[in-house]
């Protein structure tokens, strides 16, 4: 796999630890063109299978923009966004 493809794959999801030292993965989904669906950032707990996945709508509503944002966010910003998220039904 070339370096460009590797960098693109890294941007699809991020792993980070919250303030309780619990590992989470964040990824972007949704926001299909020409639909009302907005891009969302999803959070999945990697350590507790009973912790419900969480989500938050990205302000741009665009998958491309949300993915760029996710790839540039600090772990502190991800924790703050996780705190703002709501449980997935």
Q: Which residues 6+ apart lie within 8 Å of 83 measured at CB?
A: none
pLDDT of residue 76 exceeding 60, the answer is yes
Question: Reduced to 3 DSSP states, what percent helix, strand and coil does the chain have, rounded to the nearest 5?
Answer: 30, 30, 40
| pLDDT tens digits, 17-69 | 999 999 999 999 987 766 678 899 999 999 999 999 999 999 888 888 999 99
Least confident of 10-19, 68-77, 79-88: 10-19
* pTM across the whole model: 0.81
Q: How confident is the model at residue 11 (pLDDT cuts 50, 70, 90)?
A: low
């Amino acid at each position: 796999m070339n370096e460009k493809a590797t960098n693109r794959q890294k941007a699809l999801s991020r792993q980070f630890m919250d303030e309780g030292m619990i590992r989470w993965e964040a990824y972007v989904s949704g926001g299909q063109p020409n639909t009302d669906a907005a891009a969302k950032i999803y959070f999945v707990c990697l350590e507790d299978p009973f912790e419900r996945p969480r989500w938050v709508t990205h302000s741009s509503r665009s998958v491309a923009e949300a993915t760029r944002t996710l790839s540039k966010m600090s772990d502190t910003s991800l924790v703050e966004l996780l705190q703002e998220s709501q449980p997935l039904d």
